Structure 1
């Protein structure tokens, strides 16, 4: 009995599976898978989260008790007044400083070749970056919860109800998510995680300190005052103070449009930053080697 065999020709490539509902559904699904992968990774390295909490807690304690009676806010040098004025700035600084961690994480994945493996898979192009930024958003939210508890312990309070306070925290997280896309672009543009960390922090210090986060902007020189009043960071800080009810009596609200309409300005700034830097980051991801 003879067996006949046929020469097997090369197989055609398998079609890329499409999620039910189209490309948008597939992109969402892939992004959530990548986000879950990054959250599991964070849970297995808890020291990253712990060390990320130490710095903002130190800022709360140091600024509250070292500078609390030395800086006048609304004509008052009462430490309690400054403490409530300060907390929105500390919250905003915390969510934006997470940018450096996002950039370093993506740069580390690039350095290890993980991004190249993701690019070889049949998945949405922007899902890797979206999943990473979503995972960072979850970590930032947990950090804010812990930081808010510490703030309450040192004397910070909200005065306009829980719903407005939640809206203030939502604006803070939206700003943090927007800035994480800047970190993603930096992480894709450098060669090492160390460079991403340095590149992610070097521009954040002037952005956060030339603002209304720690001192009222009306005492700054004219040029710096205008920069601070149109700073997207300042808009979110001002919006959070308004929603938390932490603007002290007699505090002079600057005449710049973002300071007069801080909630709307904060939303607009965050949406513009997300749209612009997400497009740049996804483009960079597609061409990254």
Structure 2
């Protein structure tokens, strides 16, 4: 038993490339902040204003949300890599619940995502992002916004877990984890005002779970761009973001654990 546990410890030890993963995970959102802020900042009209500062404040909720959801690809690739190396088969021999392995993995990814969001918030402050100065904005609401972001990221990580368990290689998990994220994040209110979209596309964007989190963060941050809409998720974004995230976790955790059990049976 001691020999078996020693093998488990050596194989479950953090990969030597982990620092590089963290660094590269930080570079991408920082690039998005800088590129969108300075390339598009002067040409975007937010609430009738073309001020680059207003667009930066509008943009940051979208960048935060995009960052936590893009962690899905890394989670899927990590689980696929563990399956490919046989690490999951070794965990199966231990007396633990089948879902515990996936839960531990997704929570570890959540910690990395939280670190990324922290660094991104510092960079955002350096380029001029500020929370609203009105009386409705306070520290509690700002922390609640970051809590919704992390909950959304955790929910999407379970989608990545299901993808990682459904493919054969980490490369396929990375591709499969990214290909659906681009329409989800760009057909939304993350980078442009959804009220300016054509009607059919606007309806899709307004009912997009990703848009609900972005809208909730803008509301809690007190940032511009919180446009009025009859769509329920846009009218009640905080509740919509919370319900969407819980629903995604409930559905995809169930599917991922079921897939895990069948893959290790």
Q: 1:184 — aligned with what?
A: 161
Q: 2:248 — aligned with what?
A: 273
User: Hey, what's the Cα distance between the residues in 2 that align with 1:137 and 1:177?
Assistant: 6
Q: 1:29 — aligned with what?
A: none
User: Hey, what's the Cα distance between the residues in 2 that align with 1:211 and 1:98?
Assistant: 18
Q: 2:4 — aligned with what?
A: none
Moved over 2 A (4+): 36-40, 42-45
| TM-score normalised per structure 2 | 0.92
Q: 2:112 — aligned with what?
A: 139
Alignment deviations for residues 176-195 of structure 1 (CA, whole Å, 9 cap, x no partner): 00000000000000000000
User: Hey, what's the Cα distance between the residues in 2 that align with 1:38 and 1:70?
Assistant: 51
Q: How does 1:110-259 map to 2 (within 5 A)?
A: 110-159=83-132, 160-248=137-225, 252-259=227-234
| Distance change >3 Å, CA 40–CA 113, structure 1 → 2 | closer
| Distance change >3 Å, CA 39–CA 274, structure 1 → 2 | farther
User: Hey, what's the Cα distance between the residues in 1 that align with 2:15 and 2:232?
Assistant: 40
Query: 2:239 aligned with 1:264, yes or no?
Result: yes
Alignment deviations for residues 143-173 of structure 1 (CA, whole Å, 9 cap, x no partner): 0000000000000011212111000000000
Which protein shows a greater Rg?
1
Query: 2:27 aligned with 1:51, yes or no?
Result: no
1:247 is displaced (CA, Å) by 2.4
Q: 1:7 — aligned with what?
A: none
Q: Is the 2:213–2:238 contact (alpha carbons within 8 Å) kept by the matching residues of 1?
A: yes
1:44 is displaced (CA, Å) by 6.7
Q: Is the 1:38–1:132 contact (alpha carbons within 8 Å) kept by the matching residues of 2?
A: no
Alignment deviations for residues 233-275 of structure 1 (CA, whole Å, 9 cap, x no partner): 0000000000001025xx5322101000000000000000000
Query: 2:65 aligned with 1:99, yes or no?
Result: no
Q: 1:20 — aligned with what?
A: none
CA RMSD, Structure 1 to Structure 2 (Å): 1.7
| TM-score normalised per structure 1 | 0.84
User: Hey, what's the Cα distance between the residues in 2 that align with 1:113 and 1:277?
Assistant: 23
Of 152-161 and 90-99, the range deviating more from structure 2? 152-161
Whichever structure has more helix as a proportion of its residues is 2
1:277 is displaced (CA, Å) by 0.2
1:131 is displaced (CA, Å) by 0.2
Tell me the secondary structure at the aligned position of residue 41 of structure 1: coil
1:216 is displaced (CA, Å) by 0.4
